[in-house]
Structure 1
Amino acid sequence: MLRKIAIWLTGALLFMTSCSPNMNDDEVVKKEDETANQEPSIVPSYQLSNETYKMILPYKPSAARGLIVSQMGNRLDIDEMEEGLRRHSKEYYDPGTYYFQAGQKLSDDLLLTWLEEDLTDKQIEDEVQARIDKRKEDKKDVNEDIIEEIRKSVIEEETKGLNPALKDNPNESDYRNNPRYLSHILEQNFLKKNKDNTVELVGMSIGLALKSEYRFQTETGGPYYYEKISQEEMLKQGKQMAQTILERIRKMEGLENIPIMFALYREEAQGSSVPGNFVAKTGVEGSDASIGEWDAVKEDYILFPSDEAKEKYYDDTQIVSNFTNEVAQFFPNYVGVIGEGFYINEELKKLTLEIPIEFYGKGEVIGFTQYAYGLAKEMFPDHFDLEIKVTSSEKLESLIYRSAGVSNPTVHIFH
Structure 2
Amino acid sequence: MKKFRIVAALLSTMMLLAACGNLDSTSSSSTTPTTSKKKVQTTGQTNSNNYQGVIKNGHYLTSAARGVTNDQDNNTMNLKSFESGLLNVSKKEFKPSKYIFQEGQYLSTSTVQKWVERKSNDNPTGLNPVDNGQKDANKRNPLYLQTIEEQDYMTQDGDNLSLSGMTIGIGLNSVDYYTKEKYGAQYSTNISDEQMTTQGRAIAAEVLKRVRATKGVGKDVPIVIALYKQASDDSLVGGTFFSYSVNDGNNISSWQNINQRNVVFPSAGGSSTSGTSNDESNFENFKTQIQNFFPNLSGVTAQAQYQDDNLAGMNVTITTQFYSQTEIISFTQYLAQVAPKYLPSGVPIDITVQSTDGVQSFLSRDSGQTKFSTHVFGSY
TM range (shorter): 0.7 to 0.9
Contact 1:217 1:225 in 2 (8 A): yes
How far apart are the structure 1 equivalents of 2:156 and 2:335? 47
Deviations 1:292-326, CA, capped at 9 Å, x for gaps:
22111111121111239712311111111111222
Residue matched to 1:116: 117
Q: In structure 2, which of residues 222, 245, 260 is the aligned counterpart of residue 282 of structure 1?
A: 245
Change in Cα spacing, 1:35 to 1:227, as seen in structure 2 (3 Å) is closer
Aligned partner of 2:265 in structure 1 is 304
Give the letter for the 1:282 counterpart: S
Contact 1:387–1:402 (8 Å) recurs in 2: yes
Match of 2:55 in 1: 57
| Residue pair 2:72, 2:177 contacting (<8 A) in 1 also | no
Is the 2:131–2:140 Cα contact (8 Å) retained in structure 1? no
SS of residue matched to 1:412: strand
Equivalent residues in 2 for 1:265-414 (5 A)?
265-285=228-248, 288-307=249-268, 310-312=272-274, 313-414=276-377
Cα distance, 1:367 vs structure 2: 2.5
Q: Which residues in structure 2 correspond to 1:159-238 (within 5 Å)?
A: 159-167=124-132, 170-173=133-136, 176-195=139-158, 197-238=159-200
Would you say the 8 A contact 1:188–1:204 is kept in 2? yes
Partner of 1:27: 26
8 Å Cα contact 2:128-2:143 kept in structure 1: yes
**Matches of 1:73 and 1:61 in 2, distance apart?**
24
User: 1:10 maps to which residue?
Assistant: none
Report the Cα offset of residue 381 of structure 1.
3.3
**TM-score under structure 2 length normalisation:** 0.85
The percentage of counterpart residues that share the same residue type is 30
Contiguous gaps of at least 5 residues in structure 1:
1-20, 125-156
* Cα displacement (A) at 1:39: 4.0
Greater mean deviation of Cα atoms: 85-94 or 359-368: 359-368
- Please state whether the residue corresponding to 1:353 is helix, strand or coil: strand
Say which SS state the counterpart of residue 320 (structure 1) adopts.
helix
AA matched with 2:115: W
Secondary structure (helix, strand or coil) at the match of 1:388 reads: strand
Q: What is the SS of the residue equivalent to 2:361?
A: strand
Structure 1 residue 271: deviation in Å? 4.5
Secondary structure at the aligned position of 1:54 is classed as coil
The CA distance in 1 between the partners of 2:48 and 2:34, in whole Å, is: 28
Structure 1 pair 35/283, CA: closer, same or farther in 2 (3 Å)? Answer: closer
Q: Larger helix proportion, structure 1 or 2?
A: 1
Q: Counterpart in 2 of 1:148?
A: none
| C-alpha deviation, 1:250, in angstroms | 2.8
Residue identity matched to 1:103: G
Q: Report the structure number with the largest CA radius of gyration.
A: 1
Any conservation in 2 of the 1:72–1:78 contact (CA below 8 Å)? no
1:52 alignment partner AA = N
Assess, with a 3 A threshold, how the Cα gap between structure 1 residues 217 and 175 changes in structure 2: closer, same or farther: farther
Evaluate the alpha carbon distance shift between residue 30 and residue 390 of structure 1 in structure 2; reply closer, same or farther with a 3 A threshold: same
Q: Structure 1 CA distance, aligned partners of 2:227 and 2:184?
A: 32
* 1:319-353 deviation digits (Å, cap 9, x = unpaired): 11111222221233332211111111111121111
The CA distance in 2 between the partners of 1:398 and 1:254, in whole Å, is 45
Report the Cα offset of residue 279 of structure 1: 0.6
Specify the alignment match of 1:4 in structure 2: none
TM-fit CA distance, 1:31: 1.8
Aligned partners of 1:109, 1:22: CA distance in 2, in Å?
A: 35
Counterparts of 2:72 and 2:252 in 1: how far apart (Å)? 26
Tell me the TM-score normalised to structure 1 length: 0.78
**C-alpha distance in 1 between matches for 2:340 and 2:51:** 31
Determine helix, strand or coil for the equivalent of 1:29.
Answer: coil
Q: How many Å separate the matches in 2 of 1:337 and 1:22?
A: 37
C-alpha RMSD of the superposition: 2.3
- SS state at 1:255 partner: coil
Task: Find the counterpart in structure 2 of residue 134 from structure 1.
Answer: none
Change (3 A) 1:321 1:174: closer
> How far did residue 216 of structure 1 move?
0.5
Q: Secondary structure of the residue that 1:236 maps to in structure 2?
A: helix
Where structure 2 has 5 or more consecutive residues not aligned to the other structure, the ranges are: 1-20
Match of 1:76 in 2: 77
Partner secondary structure for residue 241 of structure 1: helix
The aligned length equals 351
| Contact 2:261 2:306 survives alignment (8 Å) | yes
3-state SS of 1:272 partner: coil
Instruction: Give the letter for the 2:295 counterpart.
Output: P
Once residues 397 and 198 of structure 1 are traced to their aligned partners in structure 2, the CA distance between those partners, rounded to angstroms, is 43
SS at match of 2:82: helix
**CA deviation map 1:44-69 (0-9, x unaligned):** 4x312112111121222222145248
**Whole-angstrom distance in 1 between the partners of 2:187 and 2:348:** 39
SS at match of 2:370: coil
Q: Deviations over 1:218-246 (max 9, x none)?
A: 11021110122122211111001000111
Q: Following TM superposition, where does structure 1 have runs of at least 4 consecutive aligned residues deviating by more than 6 angstroms?
A: none
Measure the CA separation in 2 of the matches of 1:303 and 1:96. 33
